[in-house]
Chain A
Amino acid sequence: MTPIASVNGTALAVFAVVVGVTLVISYYASKRVHTATDFWAAGRGLTGPQNGFAIAGDYMSAASFLGIAGLIYLFGFDGFLYSVGFLVAFLTVLFLLAERMRNSGKYTIADVLSFRLNEQPARAAAALGTLTVVAFYLIAQMVGAGVLIEGLVGIDFWLSVLLTGAFMITYIILGGMLATSWVQIIKAFLLMTAALVMTVWVLIKIGGNPLDLFRDARAESADGEAYLKPGLFLSTPLDTVSLGLGLVLGTAGLPHILMRFFTVPDAKAARSSVMWAMVLIGAFYVMTTALGFGARAILGQGGEEAAGATGNFALPLLADDLGGELFEAIIAGVAFATILAVVAGLVISASGAVAHDVWSNIVRRGTDSEKEEVWVAKIAAVAIGAIAIVIAVLGGKDLNVSFMVGLAFAVAASANFPALLLALTWRRFNTTGAVTGVLLGVISSVALVIISPTVWPGPNSEGGLFSFYDLANPGIISIPLGFIGCWLGTVLSRERVEERTFDELYVRSETGLGAEAGTGLTLTGRSDGAGSADAPRELAGTGR
């Protein structure tokens, strides 16, 4: 019944299938990816629905699948609060950034800032924001992967981390964003199917009435009525609001999500991909909630110890209860695919920040060839992957994963989101403002987490540096600070604004006139005539 310690042959076989399929895709992709646009933007050839699945695959981590269902199993309502924030966040992305990013960017979020600001400092600031977010998110995912694989398959923690890192690097070196996108699309499909099958199974088992989920779960919880109320996990009201703020604005600053909008041919496909992602992610979170309650109703209090302190193993336990060892192994395999797709997305966005922003445009000042740029990107991917493996192994299983994910969202919301939004919409915004805003956002969110009661003075502590400061989530302070930094830096500096480049960015971001063209790349071949006859693409075609 419990996730066993010795090697589980069935789970290992399912994992091997996942790895085999994704490696075949990467091999196919490797024969087609040639240019930098192929490597970072999959040739801008993905359709809206394909990119919608890929966004869902990039976004729904094992932390959402196993973690949120586990939180709901243990604490009821509060787990659901995360799901709501993760979903509503896509309205921020849809209304404010998705189409504008597609129209104005090239490979990285720094392209958008440096289009109208001073190239070197703007890129350096954006690269800092990207790498900080990716560092926290990636290490959290790698540690989570190690813990899960060790628990589900019985492979040692360090080896699990090493293997996860090795596969992720292989996808990127072979097939860049094309391989990463298809790994994410397949993962999203597997994850949705697994969640649907399990949800239907749970509903049948409890008698078919979804309302019985709530009633049975309440009856099986020691907390009774309180299980269906907020407060069991998030007990500080202001902290709950701060978390909500970080979630709803953080997604719009996650570099690996924003980068996905460069993989579609135009703004229309960009917004339709958000709509697809919202439908998939929303349906997924409704199902995870049902699964969390299902685990409570079916496993009862008996599963609490085996589920672990954060409840991560509640779903595998539920799967075992429903369909035995084989079904548990399949769910574990899906969780593994989930992790691989997310970490690959993170590493490719970091490789863009290192190779395209820092190397090509800061060190080489845009004079190197595309070939060199792609080579540097592959070397960067190996280096970033290796560093993440080492930190995850050294940090070990006891690293607090959920706080690192929260920190990644907080930095994204406090540093990347304000700078991007203001660069696209505020005429007066200047380079000094972008640099101070990003720096203040990064530094304040990291510093506030360090002095918070969950981190100070040691891992999983209950102290805090100052008795008056008891927030675990820094968003409510660090996000306003990020915006204030952008504003203060702008109004206090004497820097002259490039009016003309703002006009260009503004018109381009809203109309798509001059937007970067695709290369016609798909997984099965390369189509001719990526551009059609409409005005924006006609210009992009003649511009080169």
Chain B
Amino acid sequence: MAKTEGARAAGADHHPEIDWRAAERSPEFRELVKRKRAFVVPATIFFLAWYFGFVILAGYAPDFMGREFLTDGLTVGYVLALSQFVMTWVLGAWYMRKADREFDPLAARAAEVALRAGREAEGRSR
């Protein structure tokens, strides 16, 4: 299914010179996927739970959401809504930090290993 060089308007280019199957099975790539999942899966479950908790309360418990919180004028509903903003920013910033420090170096290593394997295979076939 590799695209030919002449088909300029085609979709994204394939790179048959790389052994993608080996790259996918390399310990470096597996490590990247494992570490990324260890953050993204729990973080996604958490934000969906926090968000739907809020939406379900808004739908089914309007009186609870209308209760006064700490001071007159502020309600539980608004505090929970604002907590969604804080959650979005905090989780986003946390992910950015993890990605810069942890995922990017791992991804670069996995890519490098795959590239090197591709070059060696090319060298052997000559």
Chain A positions within 8 Å of B, measured between CB atoms, are: 36, 77, 80-81, 84-85, 87-88, 90-92, 94-96, 99, 104-106, 110-112, 114-115, 119, 123, 211-212, 214-215, 218, 225-226, 228-231, 234, 236-241, 243-245, 248, 267-268, 271-272, 274-275, 278-279, 282, 285-286, 356, 360-361, 364, 366-370, 372-373, 498-501, 503-504, 506-508, 510-514, 516, 534-536, 538-539, 543-544
The reply to whether B114 and A271 form a contact with Cβ atoms under 8 Å apart is: no
Chain B positions within 8 Å of A, measured between CB atoms, are: 1, 3, 5-15, 18, 20-21, 23-24, 29, 32-33, 36, 40, 43-44, 47-48, 51-52, 54-56, 58-60, 62-63, 65-66, 71-75, 77-78, 81-82, 84-85, 87-89, 91-93, 95-96, 99-100, 104, 107-108, 110-112, 114-115
List the B residue with the shortest CB-CB distance to A274: B92
The reply to whether B96 and A543 form a contact with Cβ atoms under 8 Å apart is: no
**Which residues of A lie under 8 Å from residue B65 when comparing CB positions?**
77, 229-230
List the B residue with the shortest CB-CB distance to A515: B12
Contacts A95-B43, A244-B55: A215 and B73 contacting too (C-beta < 8 A)? yes
**Which residues of A lie under 8 Å from residue B40 when comparing CB positions?**
95-96
List the A residue with the shortest CB-CB distance to B5: A544
The reply to whether A230 and B12 form a contact with Cβ atoms under 8 Å apart is: no
**Which residues of B lie under 8 Å from residue A234 when comparing CB positions?**
58-59
27 interchain pairs, CB-CB under 8 A: A81-B58, A84-B85, A88-B87, A91-B91, A114-B11, A211-B73, A214-B73, A228-B77, A237-B56, A237-B60, A241-B56, A244-B52, A244-B55, A268-B100, A272-B96, A356-B9, A366-B11, A367-B7, A369-B9, A503-B20, A511-B108, A512-B107, A513-B18, A513-B111, A514-B15, A536-B108, A539-B18
**Which residues of A lie under 8 Å from residue B12 when comparing CB positions?**
104-106, 111-112, 115, 516
List the B residue with the shortest CB-CB distance to A355: B9
**Which residues of B lie under 8 Å from residue A513 when comparing CB positions?**
15, 18, 23, 110-111, 114-115
The reply to whether B115 and A535 form a contact with Cβ atoms under 8 Å apart is: yes
Bound form: Cα–Cα A334–B69 in Å:
36
Bound form: Cα–Cα A279–B3 in Å:
40
Shortest distance from the beta carbon of A97 to any chain B beta carbon, whole Å: 11
Shortest distance from the beta carbon of A37 to any chain B beta carbon, whole Å: 11
Bound form: Cα–Cα A282–B24 in Å:
37
**Which residues of B lie under 8 Å from residue A268 when comparing CB positions?**
99-100, 104
**Neighbour of B23 across the interface among A81, A372, A503, CB < 8 A:** A503
Shortest distance from the beta carbon of A24 to any chain B beta carbon, whole Å: 31
Shortest beta-carbon contacts, A-B, top 4: A229-B66, A366-B10, A237-B59, A240-B59
Bound form: Cα–Cα A99–B23 in Å:
19
Known interface pairs A231-B62, A514-B13; 7 further A-B residue pairs with C-beta atoms within 8 A, sorted by A's residue number:
A106-B12, A229-B66, A361-B9, A503-B24, A511-B32, A513-B23, A543-B15
Which one of B12, B29, B52, B91 has the highest number of Cβ atoms from chain A below 10 Å of its Cβ?
B12
The reply to whether B47 and A91 form a contact with Cβ atoms under 8 Å apart is: yes
The reply to whether A228 and B95 form a contact with Cβ atoms under 8 Å apart is: no
The reply to whether A499 and B33 form a contact with Cβ atoms under 8 Å apart is: no
List the B residue with the shortest CB-CB distance to A281: B88
List the A residue with the shortest CB-CB distance to B99: A271
Contacts A214-B74, A274-B92, A366-B10: A88 and B47 contacting too (C-beta < 8 A)? yes
The reply to whether B8 and A87 form a contact with Cβ atoms under 8 Å apart is: no
Bound form: Cα–Cα A92–B92 in Å:
10
**Which residues of A lie under 8 Å from residue B73 when comparing CB positions?**
211-212, 214-215, 218, 228
